Structure 1
Amino acid sequence: MRVCLIYDCLFPWTVGGAERRMGHLAERLAQQGHDVTYLTRCQWPPDEPPQLPGVRVIAVSRDEPLYGADGNRTIGEPLRFGAGVLRHLLAHGREYDVVHTASFPYFSMLAAGAARRRGGYRLIADWHEVWSASYWRRYVGGPQGRVAHAIQRTCARLPHTAFTFSRLHAERLTDEGLRSEPRIIWEEWADDARMALASADGPRAADTRVEATTVPRSPSVVFAGRLITEKQAPRAVEAIVLAARQVSGLTGTIFGDGPERALVDATIERLDARDVVVAPGFVEPEILQAAMRDALCLLAPSRREGYGLVVIEAAALGVPIVLAAGPDNAATELVDAGVNGVVSQSDDARALADAIVEVHARGARLRASTLAWHTAHLQRVAAQDPLREILAAYAGR
């Protein structure tokens, strides 16, 4: 099958769950013998083009920042990327049986919809998130928010097959006017090797699981994510400092980079917390993995999540997670309170700190139940077989 994947981000040049899902999907499709093209924006030096085995990577727009000084997505980049996608599909659309795009940042999906009559391909879209009208107004302001919401709704009403990754966003997509039933995939992305290591397959994996149920001698809290307003990294710093007053020796690490990096550093300085919290920025995956494995918990106080990949990654290592409840946070669907983590009913720093202290108090029993939760989750994913589900959609089933 000839497949065109579309997203303006490409892992590892841009880091995030959606990027990893799309890149992983491209490689899996290529491994199965499908002809795969990946349309994206340029994110690499001219003399160092991407090398994805079996995948043609085509840059249809220039290298430019995704985020402005205010921490929000810029408007120029998605417009230029959408125009590049339109040009490519008008010229080459007939070379594809399927065009599979991320719905956001919308103009690329509109382009794929506009070129479909000439191309004749089947259109598939990943809806990682569906924002409410009120959230759009908060994000970009009243008039602009109404326009953005109207564009989102137009995309939802295009004839296509829609994949979502949570019940929250499946319901919102239906409310936006999707003409078919959204298909929920219960695993957005998975590194097969790491998942196997974290499962009870073989002596090495079994040893890892035993170690994971032991509470770390030096308790640490890990935050990992892009430092944008929605992720609330400065709030994480405040919560860790407050929890450290109740848990002897507690420290924290803020992994990631982004528009709020300076605010994170300033918060550490303001609280005189250099001995408690460090913020090293982005690090090699092996370093992050080791830090997660040794953590007391993973703290993710994000106000907005489309899925919650970080929950799965933490649970695979037996590490409970602390989340904050909220109307736009679908990650809470993956946390059973007291089983694989704690969901704070507020994103207030004090409430988050109390949740960290609760994880510490629950000790090894919570780590053991987190591993058990992960095993059950993998069984659910295996029963669904996400790749099989995707290929069925490609075939029109």
Structure 2
Amino acid sequence: MAGRTISIVYDCLFPLTKGGGERQYDAFARDLVRRGEDVEYLTAHQWDGETPDAAYRVEAVTGPLRLYDDGGVRRASAAFRFSVGVFRALRRRRRRVGAVIVSGLPVLNVFAARLSLAGTQTPLIVDYLEVWGRSRWTEYAGRVMGTVAWLLQRLAIAVTPIATCHSQLSAEHLRDEGFRGTLLVSPGLIDGTGETEPPSPAACPPFVLYVGRHIADKRVDALPAAVATARAHVPDLELVILGQGATTEQIRSEVARVEGGAWTRMPGFVDQEELTDLMATAACLANPSRREGYGLVVVEAAAHGTPVVLVTDEGNAATELVDDRVNGYVAASASPDDLAAAIVACVRDGDRLRDSTYQWYQDALQTRTIARTMDAIVEALDERTAPTPPNEGHLP
């Protein structure tokens, strides 16, 4: 028998899009279903034909949206349209939904959920993938729009009853931005439902792998020069860059500038089988991003015994997942020399580092999982869920 109905709200749906947020919320939904809950996933329309099959119900609350502009910045108009759809959808089911988990990105989702549930006792959890200060917002969206976004974020945080986040960095930012409600800091976001095998040796010749979107904050354009510098110590080193985005042409220009065409591949998006093979055989996975709310790619690489190279930055929570010489290295900056030194260290550490990376993942499977995170979320929901009066049925 299904339990209470829990709505999960996010404007992207895995696997139609493959970012960290949608993978996380897909894992949340599947875990809740395994616990006997009735889960509905409210999102934007992203598919052709019939609604995609999933372990949970999927409902589009808006038509198709172009979420990002040409520079990789989220479009305010798309965020507004989605929030209106969320408000209408939750308003219709306000008396029958048992709980709502809504992404705090974009921030208008929070206001839509709060307004739609006003006057009910329905528990609301806001999941904050990232939390930015004013300077970061203005850098991202410009002085005027960035300031408006920051103020809206502060207001959303102020009206959030229960917040979840997935790093100590985000927890600190929430408190700095005025959060005073119940804060759940998750132990991790490892799915842990699939079986893993001991690591394979790195491919020969060795290659550095990047997986993700091509946007300015990811600093993918730093990799060609870094690998060119590393090749002074590892002459046969290659570079494989997956994905596409606003900075793809800039990355190609960097490849050309360092004369890296012979040792760089940029195949765009690949199927899951090829992605798995590349992840398992890379000498290291390099992600020079300046900001990450968690860093799911770190644990995905570690599941194959593949170490990672990250860059220290005040907005990069993924570095919390890396222990130097255990499952990778954190470079001091995105400069060619600093990145190259970390990459060369991964290559030279070879099987020793791959074995310790895999062991790090096995240890993390006991403590840093989605299941552990959902334990705390479900407990918080149980504490705040009021019994449904017997005369209240489903609304049309």
What TM-score, normalized to structure 2?
Answer: 0.92
CA distance in 2, matches of 1:226, 1:282: 10
How many matched pairs? 381
Letter in 2 for 1:316: A
Letter in 1 for 2:115: A
Task: Specify every segment of 5 or more residues in structure 2 that has no aligned partner in the other structure, as ranges.
Answer: 385-396
Letter in 2 for 1:22: Y
Deviation per residue, 1:95-147 (Å, 9 max, x gap): 20101011110111110011221443110011111011110111112222211
What is the identity percentage for the equivalent residue pairs of Structure 1 and Structure 2?
Answer: 37
Alignment of structure 1 residues 74-89 onto 2, 5 Å: 74-89=75-90
Letter in 1 for 2:377: I
Indicate whether 1:289 and 2:276 are aligned: yes
Letter in 2 for 1:171: E
Work out whether residues 94 and 120 of structure 1, in 8 Å CA contact, stay in contact via their aligned partners in 2. no
Work out whether residues 163 and 182 of structure 1, in 8 Å CA contact, stay in contact via their aligned partners in 2. yes
Indicate whether 1:221 and 2:208 are aligned: yes
Work out whether residues 94 and 119 of structure 1, in 8 Å CA contact, stay in contact via their aligned partners in 2. yes
Letter in 1 for 2:99: V
Please name the residue that 1:166 is paired with: 167
Letter in 2 for 1:16: G
Work out whether residues 89 and 119 of structure 1, in 8 Å CA contact, stay in contact via their aligned partners in 2. no
Q: Secondary structure at the match of 2:93?
A: helix
Deviation per residue, 1:172-230 (Å, 9 max, x gap): 1112121224211122241511xx32xxxxxxx3xxx1x43x45432111000111111
Please name the residue that 1:375 is paired with: 362
Work out whether residues 67 and 78 of structure 2, in 8 Å CA contact, stay in contact via their aligned partners in 1. yes
Please name the residue that 2:101 is paired with: 100
Deviation per residue, 1:144-190 (Å, 9 max, x gap): 22111111111111142111100000011112121224211122241
Letter in 2 for 1:129: E
CA distance in 2, matches of 1:81, 1:162: 21
Of 367, 375, 378, which residue of structure 2 is paired with 1:388?
A: 375
Change over 3 Å in CA distance of 1:68–1:383 after alignment to 2: closer
RMSD: 1.7
Indicate whether 1:36 and 2:36 are aligned: no
What TM-score, normalized to structure 1?
Answer: 0.92
CA distance in 2, matches of 1:383, 1:72: 29
CA distance in 1, matches of 2:334, 2:183: 30
Indicate whether 1:8 and 2:21 are aligned: no
Q: Point out the structure with the larger helix share.
A: 1
Of 324, 330, 345, which residue of structure 1 is paired with 2:311?
A: 324
Deviation at 1:33, TM superposition (A): 2.5
Indicate whether 1:48 and 2:50 are aligned: yes
Work out whether residues 191 and 369 of structure 2, in 8 Å CA contact, stay in contact via their aligned partners in 1. no
CA distance in 1, matches of 2:362, 2:57: 35
CA distance in 1, matches of 2:13, 2:322: 28
Task: Specify every segment of 5 or more residues in structure 1 that has no aligned partner in the other structure, as ranges.
Answer: 198-204
CA distance in 1, matches of 2:369, 2:132: 29
Change over 3 Å in CA distance of 1:389–1:361 after alignment to 2: same
Deviation at 1:387, TM superposition (A): 2.4
Alignment of structure 1 residues 1-397 onto 2, 5 Å: 1-45=4-48, 47-53=49-55, 55-193=56-194, 196-197=195-196, 205=197, 209=198, 211-212=199-200, 214-381=201-368, 385-396=372-383
Of structures 1 and 2, the one with the larger relative CO (CA 8 A, separation 6+) is 2
Q: Secondary structure at the match of 1:121?
A: coil
Q: Secondary structure at the match of 1:137?
A: helix
Deviation per residue, 1:63-121 (Å, 9 max, x gap): 12211112211111000000111111222211201010111101111100112214431
CA distance in 2, matches of 1:242, 1:190: 36
CA distance in 2, matches of 1:159, 1:360: 45
Work out whether residues 323 and 342 of structure 1, in 8 Å CA contact, stay in contact via their aligned partners in 2. yes
Q: Secondary structure at the match of 1:94?
A: coil
Work out whether residues 314 and 321 of structure 1, in 8 Å CA contact, stay in contact via their aligned partners in 2. yes
Work out whether residues 17 and 188 of structure 1, in 8 Å CA contact, stay in contact via their aligned partners in 2. no
CA distance in 1, matches of 2:369, 2:345: 32
Work out whether residues 17 and 189 of structure 1, in 8 Å CA contact, stay in contact via their aligned partners in 2. no
CA distance in 1, matches of 2:370, 2:377: 14
CA distance in 2, matches of 1:380, 1:29: 18
